[in-house]
């Protein structure tokens, strides 16, 4: 599998905002009071549980934004399967910056690795079928690009990135338009010839109407595997068949066996479990200032 990448230009603003939120108005009071400015350290990012690593660029950016002297040496790049105890990267440099950036770096790394691990689990569940696993727009505000990147790292693919790169006619659009056919016709009049049109259907009758009108893709929502198999036969290659609703590693194989092209799961991004990754201390190089136990004013 080819591992995707994100330009630093897309990563840095999100990480910078997270650091500013954490530093507040006075900076890292704890670290600045305890750690001498000359202290240097060597630490390691270590996996505590199995999964797939993702988000190393965001973690490295957190360290480097706090102190450009911090060096990050990646040993297991994004997309690497992890076992408990695996060393992911080594961090070396000024100890103050390392400790200040630690939580933000781990927040990004643990969350994005959790997203990638969830995607990898679903991909494995449908192995042997043609169905591809994809995410949705149910992302955390401000993190969409990173979360969708992590889905790709886990072997999944992305649905539309936003409202502006594809038409997805859902039930409320249909209600306002007065039906499937008028909604599709209005969408076709309102967008350019390169924009794909997908419509969500809950019943086989709605599917028949959508196919008769003509669409690029149909979102088969909350259908049983039997209904999905019937829908795939009705579609007969005339549109992309996407299944959604109640997608878990346990239900995905039967859904994939229906013959759908795509299986989309919102929980990959909005409810992914954080992968437990820690920053383990390895060595330090500094001499603490002498203290006789008294604090002078």
Closest by CA to 75, choosing from 53, 94, 101, 108, is 53
Alpha-helical regions (H) of 70-217: 95-125, 144-153, 171-177, 180-190, 204-213
**Structural contact between residues 263 and 157, judged by C-beta atoms closer than 8 angstroms:** no
pLDDT, tens digit (0-9, with 9 covering 90-100), for 117-147: 999 999 999 999 999 999 999 999 999 999 9
- Check 32, 124, 130, 170 and give the catalytic one: 170
Mean pLDDT of 103-107: 98
Q: Does the active-site annotation cover 75? A: no
- Provide the pLDDT for residue 289: 42
Q: Does the active-site annotation cover 188? A: no
pLDDT, tens digit (0-9, with 9 covering 90-100), for 47-94: 999 999 999 999 999 999 999 999 999 999 999 999 999 999 999 999
- Check 16, 42, 87, 103 and give the catalytic one: 103
Rounded to an integer, what distance in angstroms lies between the CA atom of residue 77 and that of residue 55? 9
- Provide the pLDDT for residue 294: 36
Q: Is the pTM of this model over 0.85?
A: yes
Output the six-digit token pair for 31: 């670290």
Does residue 106 register a pLDDT over 70? yes
pLDDT, tens digit (0-9, with 9 covering 90-100), for 2-30: 778 899 999 999 999 999 999 999 999 99
- Chain centroid offset of residue 162 CA: 15
Output the six-digit token pair for 180: 């499937």
- Check 138, 181, 188, 196 and give the catalytic one: 138
Concatenating the DSSP letter of every residue in 234-249 gives HHTTSSEEEEESS--T
- Check 28, 102, 200, 242 and give the catalytic one: 200
Rounded to an integer, what distance in angstroms lies between the CA atom of residue 45 and that of residue 63? 12
- Provide the pLDDT for residue 297: 27
- Provide the pLDDT for residue 283: 82
Rounded to an integer, what distance in angstroms lies between the CA atom of residue 45 and that of residue 57? 13
Q: Does the active-site annotation cover 221? A: yes
- Provide the pLDDT for residue 284: 75
Q: Does the active-site annotation cover 138? A: yes
Return mean pLDDT, the chain. Answer: 94
- Check 198, 221, 242, 261 and give the catalytic one: 221
Given the structure tokens 């500013």, which residue do they identify?
20
For residue 261, count other CB atoms closer than 10 A to its CB: 19
For residue 250, count other CB atoms closer than 10 A to its CB: 9
Rounded to an integer, what distance in angstroms lies between the CA atom of residue 102 and that of residue 180? 51
Q: Does the active-site annotation cover 196? A: no
Rounded to an integer, what distance in angstroms lies between the CA atom of residue 132 and that of residue 199? 19
- Chain centroid offset of residue 157 CA: 11
Does residue 296 register a pLDDT over 90? no
Using CB atoms within 10 A of its CB, is residue 285 exposed (0-12), middle (13-18) or buried (19+)?
exposed
- Provide the pLDDT for residue 286: 57
């Amino acid at each position: 599998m080819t591992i995707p990448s994100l330009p630093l230009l897309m990563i840095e603003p999100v990480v910078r905002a997270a650091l500013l939120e954490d530093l507040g108005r006075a900076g890292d009071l704890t670290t600045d009071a305890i750690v001498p400015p000359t202290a240097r350290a060597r630490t390691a990012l270590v996996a505590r549980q199995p999964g797939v690593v993702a988000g190393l660029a965001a973690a490295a950016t957190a360290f480097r934004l706090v102190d450009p002297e911090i060096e990050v040496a990646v040993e297991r790049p994004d997309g690497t399967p992890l076992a408990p105890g695996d060393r992911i990267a080594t961090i070396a440099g000024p100890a103050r910056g390392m400790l200040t950036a630690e939580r933000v770096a781990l927040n990004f790394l643990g969350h994005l690795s959790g997203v990638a691990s969830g995607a990898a689990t679903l991909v494995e569940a449908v192995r042997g079928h043609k169905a591809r696993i994809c995410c949705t727009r149910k992302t955390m505000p401000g993190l969409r690009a990173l979360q969708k990147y992590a889905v790709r790292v886990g072997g999944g693919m992305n649905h539309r990135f936003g409202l502006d790169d594809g038409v997805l006619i859902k039930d409320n659009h249909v209600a306002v338009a007065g039906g499937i056919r008028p909604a599709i016709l209005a969408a076709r009049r309102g967008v350019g010839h390169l924009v794909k049109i997908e419509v969500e259907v809950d019943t086989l009758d709605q599917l028949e109407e959508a196919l008769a009108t003509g669409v690029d893709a149909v979102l088969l929502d909350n259908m049983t595997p039997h209904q999905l198999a019937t829908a795939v036969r009705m579609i007969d290659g005339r549109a992309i068949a996407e299944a959604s609703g109640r997608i878990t590693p346990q239900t995905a194989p039967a859904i994939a066996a229906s013959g759908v092209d795509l299986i989309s799961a919102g929980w990959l991004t909005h409810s992914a479990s954080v992968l437990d990754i820690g920053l383990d201390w390895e060595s330090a190089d500094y001499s603490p200032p002498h203290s006789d136990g008294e604090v002078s004013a």
